[in-house]
Amino acid sequence: MNALTDAAVLATETELPMNLVGWGALALGLFVVVVWTLYLYR
């Protein structure tokens, strides 16, 4: 049971999080740039 759930989690994690991590990093980068720019030019 435990090995099966681990395999299922691993299978879903290779599908989704790569895309999710990519978009998350992009969103975080944009957020940081916007906040830094606003902080610089206020």
Pairwise CA distance, residues 34 & 40, whole Å: 10
Domain of 37, in residue numbers:
1-42
Q: Which amino acid is at 25?
A: A
In the chain, pLDDT over 70 holds for what percent of residues?
A: 64
Q: Is 20 exposed, middle or buried (0-12, 13-18, 19+ CB in 10 A)?
A: exposed
Tokens 């299922």 belong to residue:
8
What is the distance between the alpha carbons of residues 37 and 20, in angstroms, rounded to a whole number? 25
Number of domains in the chain: 1
Helix (H) or strand (E) holding 28: helix 2-40
What per-residue confidence (pLDDT) applies to 34? 96
Residue 36 has pLDDT above 80, yes or no: yes
Mean pLDDT value of segment 5-12: 64
pLDDT in tens, 13-35: 555 566 777 888 999 999 999 99
